[in-house]
Amino acid sequence: MNIIDGGVCAAKGYKASGVYAGIKDNEAKKFDLGLVFTEISANAAAVFTTNKVKAAPVLISMEHLSKTGKTANAVILNSKNANACVKDAPATAKAMCSETAKVLGIGTENVLVCSTGVIGQSLPIDKITAAVPKLVGKLSDKGNSDAAVAIMTTDTVKKEYAVSFEIDSKECRIGGMAKGSGMIAPNMATTINVITTDIKIDSDLLQTALSDVTEKTYNCLYIDGDMSTNDTVILLANGSADNEMITETDEDYNTFKKALFEVMKNLTIMLAKDGEGASKLLIANVKNAPSFEVGKAVAKSIIGSDLLKCAMFGEDANWGRILCAIGYAPADIEIAPIEISFASKKGSIDVCKNGEGLEFSEEKAAEILSEDEIEINVDLHQGGESATAWGCDLTYDYVKINGDYRS
């Protein structure tokens, strides 16, 4: 498996673009409308927010996937406005799809739609329909970066990742783009993700792979305890690699799933590192758990502790907050055998053994915690499974960002 450039355009047969449609009110005219397109109809899989309040784009995309039998050719995306919880939202989401379909010359139901941004404000559909011809005209197999920028809201950097791998001696590729900085919990994120691959794979297996990998990547991401109305991960497979169709959970399926995990894991890390106001990436590694589910629950409980996040911002090795978070995790575990350590590029230090504190150098601990990537390692000594969760520290800037988010 090799890391390659190209994001959503890394796989064969995909083009993308991004334009400024005027949804964002800024002098720099940063892109706010994006498009991903494959001329060859692709099998499609998706995971959506589990919030009871679902934005119109989520509902329309779900409807289109149901009607087409899980196939799609295009995804149109906008930032700054979530198109959620307003009366005209469904009509606006449908209009985004129909206008894109008309210009591309495909069926409306072959277009999926994603929106991200402020909830409860009408999306100016006239600006979007006016921009769609330019958006389609800009489509390029080098347009991945423009599309990745177009979905950014409070993100400080665009997020892309792609790899190549082999199936049936054929080079296959998979790549994706993501956005998200806040409203990330308990599952996924305020995140819009499009992932593309050129392999041939049964649509049901594609969905199985996406759901399984989401559980170990995006669903192990935690920023601030809120869940968005718009969370969406879309995976397209257009078959351009010309491998033998994958119809079973065999070696080829496992090879693809490993590549999908590699892309989604790295996008997850990028999302965690770019959490709103974040200065540190936090990684909670839990090993020797009785099951993956228990390990995941413990890891996410640690990453989700606001007190711990504040301690990491302050470079304070307050390991008691970790043990406390483990103690209220929704999992059946014993506290007595637990060991805890901190690690970074500056080294590692043990702070807890057998559920009790150890003597350690506060100066060495502070040095380790001064890095911008911190690992919190927990050994439960209660099984053989492991899990990892990703998050970030809690800083003054988080409050500043969310205190005037709509302005």
* 186: preceding bond cis by omega (within 30 degrees): yes
CATH number at residue 344: 3.10.20.340
Question: Is there a single domain that holds both residue 228 and residue 308?
Answer: no
CATH number at residue 55: 3.60.70.12
Within 168-309, strands assigned E span: 170-179, 192-197, 232-237, 281-289
Question: Is there a single domain that holds both residue 83 and residue 138?
Answer: yes
Question: Is there a single domain that holds both residue 17 and residue 111?
Answer: yes
Task: Single out the catalytic residue among 190, 191, 214, 395.
Answer: 190
Residues ≥6 apart with Cβ < 8 Å to 403: none
Q: Which domain holds residue 123?
A: 2-273
pLDDT at 393: 85
- 93-128 pLDDT per residue, tens: 999 999 999 999 999 999 999 999 889 999 999 999
Question: Is there a single domain that holds both residue 227 and residue 254?
Answer: yes
Question: Is there a single domain that holds both residue 320 and residue 387?
Answer: yes
CA-CA distance, 84 to 382, in Å (whole number)? Answer: 44
Total number of domains in the chain:
2
Final residue of a domain: which of 254, 273, 292?
Answer: 273
User: What is the distance of C-alpha 262 from the center of its chain?
Assistant: 12
Question: Is there a single domain that holds both residue 262 and residue 356?
Answer: no
pLDDT at 197: 98
Question: Is there a single domain that holds both residue 150 and residue 128?
Answer: yes
CA-CA distance, 18 to 76, in Å (whole number)? Answer: 10
CA-CA distance, 122 to 91, in Å (whole number)? Answer: 11
Final residue of a domain: which of 245, 273, 301?
Answer: 273
Final residue of a domain: which of 273, 294, 311?
Answer: 273
Query: Collapsing DSSP states into helix, strand and coil, what is residue 106?
Result: coil
Residue tagged 């450039």 (tokens): 5
Whether 190 is catalytic is: yes
Question: Is there a single domain that holds both residue 190 and residue 152?
Answer: yes
Question: Is there a single domain that holds both residue 249 and residue 324?
Answer: no
Model confidence pTM above 0.85: yes
Tokens of residue 118, six digits: 């402020």
Question: Is there a single domain that holds both residue 172 and residue 120?
Answer: yes
Low-confidence ranges of the chain (pLDDT < 50): 182-189, 405-406
CA-CA distance, 328 to 320, in Å (whole number)? Answer: 13
pLDDT at 183: 41
> What are 138-142's contacts with CB under 8 Å, separation 24+?
138/17, 138/18, 138/19, 139/15, 139/16, 139/17, 139/35, 139/37, 140/9, 140/15, 140/16, 140/17, 141/6, 141/9, 141/14, 141/15, 142/9
Question: Is there a single domain that holds both residue 252 and residue 362?
Answer: no
Question: Is there a single domain that holds both residue 113 and residue 233?
Answer: yes
- 40-76 pLDDT per residue, tens: 999 999 999 888 999 999 999 999 999 999 999 999 9
pLDDT at 189: 46
